[in-house]
A and B are shown apart, each in its own frame.
Chain A
Amino acid sequence: MLQKKVCMLGSFAVGKTSLVRQFVESIYSDVYQTTVGVKIDKKNVNVGEKETTLVLWDIYGEDDYQKMRWTYLRGASGYLLVADGTRKATLEKAVSLEERVRKEVGAIPFVLVINKSDLIRDWELDPALESQLAAQGWSILHASAKTGEGVEESFSLLTRKMLG
């Protein structure tokens, strides 16, 4: 079976672990538990009649305390870039992470997932920036790790992009 390494990237507390847990185990917890280190999960997906195993690298959110090791991206077929719709700075962080990934490992498929769509009324993202990124060819999806909305679609879209 085809295996694809997928990295979860984004600022801290944007919901990377929650998205993986929702996707793999259909579980969600409201309690924020920070990720220290790396957690790896696997899930089989069927996209276009091809069964693929996604090896999901849930990497700690980068902040002042923990810096990303770019060696984790070695062998990655794609990545899910995660931002929190209620925290504007996390989208800016996502934009800078994308630039750095492109610089470190080249242009590989990615999908920007703006998480916490269940709190959309508290979103503080600039729609203009979102439109601008979409115009640059970014694939952007809104999702909620809490309700599951958009989660499956995000991973499926990334898989389709990775499979070309």
Chain B
Amino acid sequence: MPDVLQEFPMEMGFALFEYCGDGNFLPIAQLPDWFSEIWAGAGNASGPIPLSQQSPFLENFLLEAEEFWNSHASAACQSETWIEKSVSGREIPVQAKALFLGGKRILVLFSPDSQFREQVRILQTARNALLDHERLAREIQKKEILLHCIVHDLSQPLSVMHVAMDSLSQESISERSKQFLTLGKHASDQQETMIRQILQAFSDDLRASLDAGTEGNSSSDLLECARKSMISLGLTFDAKGVRVAVSPSVDLKAKWPVVAEDSRLQRIFSNLLENALRYTPAGRRVTIGVEDEGDFLKAYVDDEGPGLPQDLRPEQIFGLFMKGKQGGGKAGLGLYFCRITVERWGGSIGCVTLPVKGSRFWFRLPRSADNMATHAPNARDASDLTGTKRKPIPIRPLRILLADDQEDIRTLTAYQLKRSGHKVVVARDGIHALKAFHSASFDVALLDQEMPGMTGDEVARAIRTAEQGKKKRVFLVASTGNTTSEDAGRLKQAGFDEVLGKPFRLEDLNLILSYFPGAEPAVKTPAPPSPQEGATLAELTARVGGDEKLLKRMIHTFLRDIPKRVTGIASVIRRKDPEALASLAHALKGSVSIFGAETARKRCQELQELGRSGELSAAVEIFGALKEEIAKLQANLRGYANQTPARLKSSHAKRQGPPRNRGKRRR
């Protein structure tokens, strides 16, 4: 076999065999050391070796090899690497190759040691990188979920608070009650600002934000936070007829300081209480308790529900997107939030089925050395206490489809809309919203984004599809906590006309409704122009040389374009784009000046200056004031646009006395 030995020299460690048939192989030359290390008995044999009996892998490969030899194919048949163990336990990589040489069926075995190690090194690096990438993707997802928790879950109750207080402010209440109401409004404004700040912190750097909570040696009082959460959910518990109380065994006078941060600790209690409420039947009780465990303090929430689901382990219940089969939470995020937050603070969390009935959700946190709980700073200055009275914008009664799976938001918003004279049909989810859309005619559909069954996006797309080929087009408003420019783009693509950011106030809702193209009040609606909210109609007419048609066209154009222009300014403020802000504010300043809206002009001027300076910290506040002025101006201009000359004459005479340009107008 000289040619075989030339091809596969012995010094390279090849083990060469000629196939003799029946699974037997005759060594062509002396077998290398590695072969004897693996198959000691076979390596010392002088005659043919039944190789297929030596190794299951070889047995498998030799079937392929035999097929190859029988086929007389020209190319060789080669195995992948497999690992054999030596007698001493060393792992030795081996490869096999079947070929023809000199008309003989030859099997070559070799150990690609260095080549194999390099291959392992490369694949290990590549797969580690893939795993790192997956881990990173999961971290990003976790961050997004936290953002979602804050935007969605925390914003929902605020919407209810805003609308509830707006509703109250329209009732006949005593001066003292009004003071309380002002305090309440201020507190809800503060909370909104705090949420936005937290959101900002999370979006800037989640980890840094979370770590800041512990690095700053932040301390909270466990019982105090539990009580606050109980109070905030008191009405919800009342509504379901479930009692909630602190366990009588708890020392109410003691301090319960833990390493935590107030707002997030309250959020944990709220999530656990809401979870308990979901599973507790009416007439039963939910109990909160705290216990001293030395270096740790433990809190628990006991319910009198059916106990933990048998198909889930307690650890799974705190997993991502975990929802109970009955009455589960909205997105399966609440308990997940609890776990990651408690663990960040160095604590632990769990749950058990109670011996008699119900379940206990508990968590323990490290005891804080600081006995004084620190509280989250007030996000707004005291100067913001003075709330500007906002006036609803007069719009004609509309037929509105309202879809939101949050009952409290649905009820309050519907109440407000009906009170404003609109006809409202409510739907508790996306599927019912779509059914309602097909069964009646609507001017406006106000759709929550996150509803079970069908999301707001899906409903919007279905509505737009159904409208194809029809003249009538419903005005679609998305109600959402996600109001970034990307979200706005996505919502627009889904077919929405406007976005109502949550939490929203009554005037936000009215302002959005006023954007509806047919929302202008009927001719009968009394026009409310006042000198300080813009020029009078007579003055405006005079400015355009008495050309009422031209004035109407200008008003129409202004009213048509203003929503986009306001949205544009909101967008550049969100994007923190000072140059664009200066430019847009400058352009709007010119428009509002035409209509004599002096306050609006000043606000535009201020925004323009902020844009030029690059310092946008006050932009949100000024923009809020500008929007109010714009709303007043819009209301006035709509009133003007609908006034007949006769009506104009009488209203003008009443409000302004003799017009300065009466003669010109008569001409």
Give the B-binding residues of A (Cβ under 8 A). 5, 12-13, 32-34, 36-40, 55, 57, 63, 65-66, 69, 71-72, 74-75, 87, 89, 120-124, 127
Contact = CB atoms under 8 A, between A and B. Distances in A.
Contact of B124 (A34, A38, A121): A34
Interface stretch (B19-27, B125-133, B357-365, B513-521): B125-133
Given A121-B316, A121-B319, A123-B316, A72 B60 contact: yes
B56 A40 contact: yes
A69 B127 contact: no
Given A40-B56, A87-B134, A32 B128 contact: yes
B178 interface: no
B320 interface: yes
B291 to A, nearest CB: 23
10 contacts: A5-B56, A13-B131, A32-B131, A38-B82, A66-B123, A71-B60, A71-B64, A75-B60, A87-B134, A127-B312
A71 B128 CA distance: 28
Interface in B63-92: 63-64, 80-83, 91
A32 B123 CA distance: 12
Most buried by A among B60, B120, B311, B320: B60
B249 to A, nearest CB: 30
A34 B127 contact: yes
Interface in B305-342: 311-313, 315-316, 318-320, 339
B583 to A, nearest CB: 46
Contacts of A5: 56
Contacts of B93: 37
A33 B128 CA distance: 9
B128 A37 contact: no
A34 B120 contact: yes
A34 B138 CA distance: 22
Contacts, number: 71
Nearest to B59: A75
Interface in B121-173: 123-124, 126-128, 130-131, 134, 138
Interface residues of B, number: 33
Contacts of A71: 60, 64
Contacts of A72: 60
Contacts of A121: 315-316, 318-319, 339
Contacts of A38: 57, 80-83
Interface of B: 55-57, 60, 63-64, 80-83, 91, 93, 116, 119-120, 123-124, 126-128, 130-131, 134, 138, 311-313, 315-316, 318-320, 339
Nearest to B343: A121
A36 B120 contact: yes
A135 to B, nearest CB: 13
A89 B138 CA distance: 12
B581 to A, nearest CB: 42
A143 B151 CA distance: 37
Nearest to B141: A124
* Shortest 7 CB-CB contacts between residues of A and residues of B: A37-B81, A38-B82, A121-B315, A39-B83, A34-B124, A36-B120, A34-B127
A96 B82 CA distance: 25
Contacts of B60: 71-72, 74-75
A93 to B, nearest CB: 13
Given A37-B80, A123-B316, A13 B127 contact: yes
A120 B315 contact: yes
A74 to B, nearest CB: 6
Given A36-B123, A66-B123, A71-B60, 4 more contacts: A34-B124, A34-B127, A37-B116, A40-B56
Contacts of B83: 37-40
B39 to A, nearest CB: 14
Contacts of A87: 134
A72 B134 CA distance: 29
B432 to A, nearest CB: 24
A66 B131 CA distance: 16
Contacts of A127: 311-312
B127 A63 contact: yes
A72 B319 CA distance: 38
A12 B127 contact: yes
A121 B319 CA distance: 5
A136 B463 CA distance: 37
A57 B120 contact: no
Nearest to B316: A120
Contacts of B56: 5, 40, 55, 57
A63 B127 CA distance: 9
A152 to B, nearest CB: 20
A36 B134 contact: no
Contacts of B320: 124
A144 B303 CA distance: 33
Nearest to B131: A13
Contacts of A33: 124
Contacts of B316: 120-121, 123
Nearest to B126: A65
A87 B81 CA distance: 28
Contact of A74 (B63, B116, B315): B63
A69 B313 contact: no
Contacts of B319: 120-124
A75 B56 CA distance: 11
A122 B57 CA distance: 37
Contacts of B312: 127
Given A74-B63, A120-B315, A40 B82 contact: yes
Nearest to A41: B85
B498 to A, nearest CB: 35
Contacts of B57: 38, 40
Contacts of B124: 33-34
A2 B108 CA distance: 31
A122 B321 CA distance: 11
Contacts of B123: 34, 36, 65-66
A72 B63 CA distance: 11
A63 B130 contact: yes
B55 A69 contact: no
A141 to B, nearest CB: 14
A71 B316 CA distance: 39
Nearest to B317: A121
B64 A36 contact: no
A74 B315 CA distance: 41
A58 to B, nearest CB: 9
B280 to A, nearest CB: 24
A39 B131 contact: no
B388 to A, nearest CB: 48
A162 to B, nearest CB: 16
Most buried by B among A12, A74, A127: A127
B127 A124 contact: no
B131 A36 contact: no
Nearest to A57: B56
A75 B80 CA distance: 18
A55 B60 CA distance: 13
A115 to B, nearest CB: 14
A63 B126 CA distance: 11
